[in-house]
Amino acid sequence: MSLHYLVTGGAGYIGSHLVLALVGAQHQATVLDDFSTGHRWATEGHEVIEVDIRDLAALRSALLHRHFDGVFHFAAKSLVGESGQKPLLYYQNNVTGTANLLEVALENDWRHCVFSSTAAVYGSPQSAVIAEEHPLNPVNVYGETKLAMEQLLSAVHKQGAMHAVCLRYFNAAGAAPDAHRGEWHEPETHLIPNVLRKAAGEARPLTIFGDDYDTPDGTCIRDYIHVLDLAQAHLKAMAMLHREGGFHTLNLGSEAGYSVREILRACETTVGQPITHDIGPRRQGDPPRLVADAGRAGQILGWRATRGLREIVDSAWLWEQERQRLQAR
């Protein structure tokens, strides 16, 4: 059965891949975005509603009398450093914007929401492998706002008004295999795209922050998950809500950790050349290891990550070459 979904932030990295997955599953997607960070080219061929979710009146007007079978909510500011510099922007956009969206959703009787959350809600890890029962103690404003967004959804669910799944991502990476979607942030803060931008010839420093951690090669270990695996988890989460309802918080990760040096070597193998880099001091607050326990997602959704590091890096490199061409136009 073909259903129609609203995808907030559908012009962004993960949201645009979710739109592709919806179309691939024979569903219809309408993108809602303010294009403050998203890309218009990522929405071509889809209905687009351009509105700022902080503006309740404009949001209500844009969505008046619209029917959607559910909402995938990606729209959020997401830069950790910026969140500390602009806390009001992050609370207004992420928390107030989500409250506005939920208000309009309930007015229009949309009762199912899959929310893009983050492992940043856990804060400093108390264990090397993190399950959903880990204490919630975010250490930056970004994580605080994502946790507040989860709490809003939980409160609305307790009213009996909405069913929701909060998906806590670890490190999203990779790109669509045909290289027409991928990661493009300015500034770019993620490791794999920054390594590949350096490999593509951009005159930017590439720094490994700390090589003296208590890990096998001295560099931090993180859990990387392919964006296509993330998209499939969203589809499964929404299908589960239609079947069973409820409120769930689920980790999404590969349950495999890769060090910074392992990522660098994988990128060098893909591009076929060494990638110059520097070693810098540790960044404050960087734990040695962050890996997901994604067992609950397996039990509840029947989902697991299927794409490994090689597929992540190869697809990201194809996309980076395409991104360079788009940037040069």
User: What residues are labeled active site?
Assistant: 142
Q: How many CB atoms lie within 10 A of CB 243?
A: 8
* C-alpha–C-alpha distance, residues 262 and 283, integer Å: 19
Contact indicator for 110, 241 with CB cutoff of 8 Å: no
CA angle 81, 149, 55 (to 5 degrees): 85
Write down the H helix ranges in 64-180: 80-85, 87-90, 97-107, 141-158
Contacts for 327 with CB less than 8 Å, ≥ 6 apart: none
Q: At 225, give phi and psi (nearest 5°).
A: -130, 135
Q: Roughly what angle, to the nearest 10 degrees, separates helices 13-24 and 227-244?
A: 60
